[in-house]
Structure 1
């Protein structure tokens, strides 16, 4: 039972911080200069005929 409490405390505090940092990193990665071209190219992959 003590392990559960420790893991719950860790997830409630540092887990939330970690997920927030990952979210901000993804947002910054997508809005970096030059990301629009690569995002458009990736969006067209299913529409390409081989």
Structure 2
């Protein structure tokens, strides 16, 4: 593979892959119930056991 072919691939499908990853991460973070899980994870370092 030469440089130009790899660049064309990254320009087209790389952008699509990054957009899909961003959309998936956004849905994962903004899903219902994620606030409770995030609060629980934030309290882990403060727990004495």
TM-score tier, shorter chain, comes to 0.7 to 0.9
Query: In the TM superposition, what whole-angstrom CA distance separates every residue of 1:1-50 from its partner, at most 9, and x where no partner exists?
Result: x5111110011111011001100100011111111111111222333344
Instruction: For structure 1, list consecutive stretches of 5 or more residues without a partner in the other structure.
Output: none
Determine which structure has greater relative contact order: mean sequence separation of CA pairs < 8 Å that are 6+ residues apart, divided by chain length: 1
Instruction: For structure 2, list consecutive stretches of 5 or more residues without a partner in the other structure.
Output: none
Report runs of 4+ in structure 1 exceeding 6 Å deviation: none
Relative to the length of structure 2, the TM-score reads 0.80
Q: How many residues get paired? A: 49
Relative to the length of structure 1, the TM-score reads 0.79
What's the RMSD between the two structures over aligned residues? Answer: 1.4
